[in-house]
Amino acid sequence: MWERRLAGPIRCFVRSRAADVMLAAVLAGYGGLDALTQPDWPGPRPAVAALVVAAGVCLAWRRRRPVLAFTGTMGALTVVLVAFGHFESGSSLLISLVAAYSVGVYGADLRYAGGAIVCFTAAMGLREPNGEALPDMLWTLAALALPVTVGLATRALRGRTLVLEERTVTLEREQEQRAAAAVAEERRRIARELHDIISHGLGVVVLQAGAAEQVLDRDPAKAREALALIRATGQEAIGEMGTLVGLIRDDPEPSRDPQPTLADLDRLVATTCALGLPVRMMTEGTAGRVPAAVELSAYRVVQESLTNALKHAGNARVSVVLRYQPDDLEVEVSDDGPGCPQGAGGRHGLTGLRERVSIFGGRFEAGRGQTGGWTVRASFPTAR
């Protein structure tokens, strides 16, 4: 646990400017002390040590100015070679390797770095015997090219990692957007479901309450029938709303009562007829296999249309037709009443129906019929 807590601060320190300054100070001090005390360096020792310290100090800019830092480091060591003579020491090798790796990782333009490598390599063979000059130069060139290559590979790997991280962030953002869109669509669907349930249930309750009030004194039996229908409609609406709400709350055992299907249209038509609106239902074609979502939406189309007919059709007759075709299901509800006047209620319900049908890629029409009245027609593709 403590290792994880320390990993973040350590990583931040390693990537900081202070870490570069500390590294440069350590290498500069080590190189200067090595040049003063070890016999591998030429004389005069103080001047050589000063140049080695300058080479190490340049590493403080290895990330902010990588090419400049590398050029300064190798330039100082090249001056030692040209002015004072050949040397082979561990401190100079360590300083050179760090500078070469840093310019490979952080350098943007490596032409100057390549020139510095060539100059340093050529200087290594200036005061060497002919037989030893070429091997020393080749070894120096390989020793500097290897950390530069490793640095370039590290930079490429970091670039790929950065690209992958950006793609991951983009995918997460797109996933969140898709989730938000799905939530919004689900809210719209729930709003449509609630509108259909409440609109139909309350419409029936209001009409039956009015009928019961009219016959309460002269025909109590008829009034009781209306009240019984009000109770049954209210219980049905409450049950459907309970099912809908149970699907969206965090109840471990929500209600899973089945949603209405086309098989429930007979009961819906019978209920509407009992309210005083004559409805005739017909089926054309051979009933095929219809997806459950299409069945629910087709039922809601008929339910909303009958509710609007109860409100606006008056003393009219309603026809409900289900047309089964090879690739789609068509629902048509028409009446011969005066129709829904422009600007009357129910427009929200028709908008919800249109959205329902459009989800399945179907067609929806609602308007005055050719011979009067009002016609609602919806077509649902069933081939998919």
4-28 pLDDT, tens digit per residue, is 555 667 677 677 788 889 999 999 9
- Of 83, 99, 127, the residue that ends a domain is 127
Residue 214 counted as domain residue: no
Report pLDDT digits (tens) over 55-112: 999 999 998 899 999 999 999 999 998 888 888 888 888 999 999 999 999 988 788 8
**Secondary element (H or E) of residue 93:** helix 90-106
Residue 212 counted as domain residue: no
Residue 81 counted as domain residue: yes
Residue 146 counted as domain residue: no
pLDDT of residue 345: 45
Whether pTM exceeds 0.95: no
pLDDT of residue 185: 76
DSSP result, 2-61: HHHHHHHHHHHHHTSHHHHHHHHHHHHHHHHHHHHH-TTSPSPHHHHHHHHHHHHHGGGG
* CATH number reported for the structural domain that contains residue 297 in this entry: 3.30.565.10
Residue 63 counted as domain residue: yes
Q: Who wins on pLDDT, 345 or 55?
A: 55
Rounded CA-CA distance 71/210 in Å is 97
Residue 182 counted as domain residue: no
- Neighbour tally for 63: CB within 10 Å: 16
Q: Which two tokens stand for residue 366?
A: 């609602």
Query: Using 50, 70 and 90 to split pLDDT, how confident is the model at 344?
Result: very low
Please give the DSSP secondary-structure letter assigned to residue 343.
Answer: T
- Taking a C-beta distance cutoff of 8 angstroms, is the pair 148, 103 a contact? yes
pLDDT of residue 135: 85
Mean pLDDT, the chain, rounded, equals 81
Please give the DSSP secondary-structure letter assigned to residue 284.
Answer: E
Tally of domains within the chain: 2
Residue 155 counted as domain residue: no
Residue 272 counted as domain residue: yes
pLDDT of residue 33: 92
pLDDT of residue 343: 41
pLDDT of residue 181: 80
Domain of 281, in residue numbers: 263-384
Smallest CA-to-CA distance from 136 within 119, 118, 122 is with 122
